[in-house]
Structure 1
Amino acid sequence: MSDVEKVKKLRVATGAGFKDCNLAIKEANGDLDKAVEILRVKGISKASKKMSREAKEGVVAISGDEKKTSIIEVNCETDFVAKNDDFIDFVKELSELNNQNDSNLESLKKAKMKNGSSVEDNLVALIAKIGEKITIGQTKTISNSSSTNYQYLHTVVKDNLAKLAVIVSLETNENSETVKTFGKQLSMHIAASNPLALESTLIDKAIIDKEQELITEELKNSGKPEDIAKKISLGKMNKFKEENALMTQAWVMEPKKKVQDVLKELAVNGLKIKEFSRIKIGE
């Protein structure tokens, strides 16, 4: 990627001007992730997302039922291959085996497919036939005896294969239409809002520490007195946690409410969000 292309990409992601993006890329020696951090520290950009993740294609597949549901990501190099019949057939069968093996990758690789060969051997054969690197990415199985799982597929490629997939588990003894509607809407909310964890206390410490570091550096360059900077830093961190924890996110269907408010308003006895999984190709 040329420097001009990097500048364009950085401008789209951060909203910063051409000159600022150009200087940031030069200072970062072409590293887009570092350039984003430089712009944030200088107070020019609010963006914090990763820029240089390897561009991946492929599909995410969901298998199972409402009591035990599994999700698996399979990556390839081009979207053309992601729509190839051989690739799709392999992923569909792989998805079922993944559910049977509770997303245990080592067991999955050794599992036998319909042709009698292992997943590992079939993967090698598929790579040889198609001529592209194909890898198994993230996997997750959600199974709770007292819960019901709901799912959502976005940008469906075929049947149970998509570019983005979500599973969310609701703990409840009730099987009403109200609960079913909430389960479906909640899975769509997770797809759109990409929460990092169920609650703020469960967000990965490394992510929190990195955000705190960026905010601290940003405020150092603002020239504000230390006591005021501390208050601003606390406010920014609280906002970051609120916006990235599922329970405190603004409800996509009605943004003036938080997810926890909607859950409470449903007034369904014992209804709880147990856990969730969201996988998107390229993230």
Structure 2
Amino acid sequence: FINFVKELSELNNLSESCVKKLNVSKMHNGKTVNENLVSLIAKVGEKITIGRTKTISHPGAKNFVYHHTVVKYNLSKLAAVASLETKEKSEKLDLFGKQLTMHIASSNPIALDSESIQKEILEKEQELISEELKNSGKPEKIVKKISIGKLNKFVEENSLLSQAWVMEPKKKVKDVINELKINDLKIKDYYRLKIGE
């Protein structure tokens, strides 16, 4: 299983993170990923599916990775990666990159900033909030204010830059970035993967 996953990871980078392309890619033994997956399922007796894949590659950026509950060879049940762009090479950047990926693994942001949250997600959250407040018995004006406040809180808690920093919750991620005083630092991309999601 571990060798299968390691080879799968290498193939993923060649297939541009497309599950369909990945499934028909040839592995070292000449069989496709899908064929090997069927054999592996028969061997271990567990249902195994490839749900999501991600390749992060930005020229000039450095990728930082965090693995939680490592099984073996950088294979884990939860992993996060962040791609940071800057000309600076320093220990404080490396420490921040490591801490940022730990933060992403722990906090599971859905977007980099509030503007990046998909409209559909906001609409769904607004529906849930409206449903929750529908039978509150409060005046419509008050319900509207509460609704706006709850939606703003949702956005803040789910946007990476506005989340409370896991290492020091009184600060936001964007505050920690500003304190680094690395003028050209940009978070180019990030991703979080967890078994079963």
The question of a shared fold, defined as TM-score above 0.5 by the shorter chain, is answered with yes
From 92, 106, 109, give the equivalent of 1:192: 106
Question: C-alpha separation between the residues in 1 aligned to 2:126 and 2:31?
Answer: 49
Aligned letter for 1:153? H
- Partner of residue 48, structure 2: 134
**Is it true that 1:263 corresponds to 2:177 in the alignment?**
yes
Which of 88, 93, 96 is 1:174 aligned to?
A: 88
User: 2:84·2:97 contact (CA, 8 Å) conserved in 1?
Assistant: yes
- Which residue, out of 114, 121, 124, partners 2:35? 121
Indicate the SS of the match to 1:175. Answer: coil
Shifted more, 200-209 versus 247-256: the winner is 200-209
The answer on 1:98 being equivalent to 2:20 is: no
Give the alignment of 1:132-171 within 5 angstroms. Answer: 132-171=46-85
Q: Does 1:214 align with 2:128?
A: yes
**Distance in structure 2 (CA, Å) of the matches to 1:210 and 1:251:** 26
- In structure 1, the residue corresponding to 2:80 is in which secondary structure? strand
Q: Report the Cα distance in structure 1 between the residues aligned to 2:182 and 2:114, rounded to whole angstroms.
A: 24
Q: Deviations over 1:108-133 (max 9, x none)?
A: 22322222222222122222323332
* CA distance in 1 between partners of 2:18 and 2:130 (Å): 40
The separation in 1 between residues aligned to 2:149 and 2:20, in whole angstroms, is: 44
What letter is aligned with 1:247? Answer: L
Q: Secondary structure at the match of 2:52?
A: strand
Unaligned runs of 5+ residues in structure 2 are: none
1:46 corresponding residue in structure 2? none
Aligned length: 197
User: 5 Å matches for 1:1-283?
Assistant: 87-283=1-197
Q: By how many angstroms is 1:89 displaced? A: 1.8
> Normalising by the residue count of structure 1, what TM-score does the alignment of the two structures yield?
0.67
Q: Following TM superposition, by how much is the alpha carbon of 1:193 offset from its aligned partner in structure 2, in angstroms? A: 0.6
Aligned-residue CA RMSD in angstroms?
1.3
Please give the alpha-carbon distance, in whole angstroms, between the structure 2 residues aligned to 1:111 and 1:238. 44
Dislocated runs of 4+, deviation >6 Å? none
- 1:229 Cα deviation from its structure 2 partner: 1.2
Deviation at 1:234? 0.8
Structure-2 separation of matches of 1:103 and 1:217: 37
- Does the 8 Å contact 2:19/2:52 carry over to 1? no
Equivalent-residue separation in structure 1 for 2:69 and 2:169 (angstroms): 23
TM-score of the aligned structures, taking structure 2 as reference length:
0.94
Query: Which one scores higher on RCO, CA 8 angstroms, separation ≥ 6?
Result: 2
Shift of 1:100: 2.6
> What amino acid sits opposite 2:194 in the alignment?
K
1-side partners of 2:54 and 2:105: how far apart?
Answer: 16
Structure with the higher fraction of residues in strand conformation? 1
Query: What is the CA-CA distance between 1:273 and the residue it aligns to?
Result: 1.1
- For 2:107, give the aligned amino acid: S
